[in-house]
Structure 1
Amino acid sequence: MKNIITLTGDIGSGKSTVAAVLRDKLGYAILTTGSMLRELAARQGITVLELNKQAMSDSQVDRMIDGYIQDLNARGDQKLILDSRLAWHFVQGSFNVFLYVDPLAAGRRVLAHNRPEEAHTDVHDAMRNNLHRRELENERFETLYDIQCDDLSNFHLVVDTTWASPESVAAMIVQAYRQRDPGPAGINGYLCPKSLFPTKDIRDLQGSDAEAADKASADAAGPDEPGLHPAFPINVVRLGHYFFIRDGHARASRALRQGLLYVPCRISPAEAAVHPAGVNEWEEAHGFTFASYPDERGEPTLR
């Protein structure tokens, strides 16, 4: 495996900031396509969203950026951090990371950046623009390269940035990167328990089989390693922009009570309808509120 980390993920997930922290921790150089897109948009006097719409009918924008990234395969053993939507696809032998963020949290972050090429009226407008821009990019790359950019099985590591500082996110990436297995890409998710929606009523957990797994995970972690052991990940499904607990409610509950930032998760796509259960009771029992809430399609809805 090359000494190259590729970063992609949701708009507003903090890719550029995390890349900078990784640079300081590892001493790697950074290459970013996000800055290239913003510069191209600024030159034309349009927004990044408008540039993405333009690129739907003009592939030259993508070809210029992607050709440069592809050339990295012939440049030897460089130590790089690539902040790029498609580097995971083009660079052979890289360690591929996807950064997730809750849609509304992403809207707040993007609005706070106040970039002149990204005009938003409020946080909800920023959220909608983020999601629309992401949708346009995904459609374009599927047309050009026949790939699914939001398929998490393309990545070695999925990290939730919604509730974490860039330093905490980078530390998780460095830990996984140094322990990496040079096998085919698979899903290895570290998500905040505050991003995991229950599909069981919390009153049904006491005395369940899940408590046995909870205790086994605690025993495996040991007294000096509070939290959940990677050998006992929480099984979650992803629907749209949200994650739902399939198995591991007791472990997620324990993680919330401990105030853990991350829990190990095994992520799979939702193959059928997913319905959260007892969300208000879950929040009340653990003293927090979710960043936003999904509708039946996994799209953000406002409460």
Structure 2
Amino acid sequence: MIITISGQVGSGKSTIGKELAKKLKYRYISMGEVFKKLAKEKNMNLTEFLKYAEKNLKVDKEIDESQKNPGQNCILDSRMGFYFANPDLKIWLKAPLEVRAKRIAKRESFKNEENIKEKIKEREKAERERYMRMYSVDIFDKNNYDLIIDTAEYNINQVVEKIISAVKQKFAVKNLYK
């Protein structure tokens, strides 16, 4: 089974993805980590690299190609995973901007949450425009996903349990039609 986790910046994709992979004993693949690694290789911070990627579509194409065959029994943490990986379950995580800014501030030791909010908005706008331009896909369109969870309403374990319930339900339905 391939499960993709997409969502807003700071919604908990990595945290939830890693915990889910651990519980299901699946591999965890993070396209965000791939992106960060590429940024580091170019001696750029993430914002600089995102701007670079906007102008150099080859970067996205390379990353996108790597998502097409992630293999079975994996959690793919990726904005475009739902589109490329042919997943069995597509999850979207969301949370209010204030919550996401607090999480990022805590994670990255930032003090100015207003500045973080602006950076989140800029990044999401740039990503939305880039994927629309490249693939005519709106990653924020909820119709692309099977399960949408507001991570501000639940703790990590509750979110993971909701996803596991959806996996069990999906398997039950799949097995009915075999």
Structure 2 length as normaliser, TM-score?
A: 0.91
What residue is the counterpart of 2:92 in the other structure? 98
Deviation at 1:164?
A: 2.0
Alpha-carbon distance between aligned partners in 2 of 1:160 and 1:150, rounded to the nearest angstrom: 14
Q: Compute the displacement of 1:121 (Å).
A: 5.2
Amino acid at match of 2:146: H
Residue identity matched to 1:138:
R
Match of 1:110 in 2: 104
> CA RMSD for the aligned pairs?
1.5
SS of the residue corresponding to residue 69 of structure 2 reads: helix
Matches of 2:69 and 2:21 in 1, distance apart?
Answer: 21
- Bigger relative CO (Cα 8 Å, ≥ 6 apart): 2
Deviation string, structure 1 residues 109-128 (Cα, Å, up to 9, x no partner): 1111117xxxx550111111
Indicate yes or no: 2:115 matched with 1:125: yes
1:273-292 matches, within 5 Å, as: none
- The answer on 1:171 being equivalent to 2:161 is yes
Contact kept, 8 Å, 1:11 with 1:134, in 2: the verdict is yes
TM-aligned CA deviation for residue 60 of structure 1: 1.4
Is 2:153 the partner of 1:160? no
Structure 2 contact 3–87 (Cα < 8 Å) conserved: no
> Max radius of gyration: which structure?
1
Taking the aligned partners of 1:41 and 1:93, their CA distance within structure 2 comes to 27
- Give deviations 1:203-222, integer Å, cap 9, x for gaps: xxxxxxxxxxxxxxxxxxxx
> Which portions of structure 1, spanning 4 or more consecutive aligned residues, are displaced by more than 6 angstroms?
none
AA paired with 1:80? Answer: C
Instruction: Tell me the CA shift for residue 15 of structure 1.
Output: 0.8
- What secondary structure does 1:164 align onto? coil
Question: What CA deviation, in whole Å up to 9, does each residue of 1:167-210 have, x standing for no partner?
Answer: 1111111111211256xxxxxxxxxxxxxxxxxxxxxxxxxxxx
Contact 2:96 2:152 in 1 (8 A): yes
Output the amino acid matched with 1:130.
I
Unaligned runs of 5+ in 2: none
Aligned positions of 1:102-251 closer than 5 A? 102-114=96-108, 122-180=112-170, 181=173
Measure how far apart 1:155 and its partner are: 0.3
Q: For 1:83 and 1:41, how far apart are their aligned partners in 2?
A: 18
The amino acid across from 1:25 in the alignment is: K
Unaligned runs of 5+ in 1: 183-303
User: SS at the partner of 1:148?
Assistant: coil
Residue correspondences, number: 172
What letter corresponds to residue 150 of structure 2 in structure 1? D
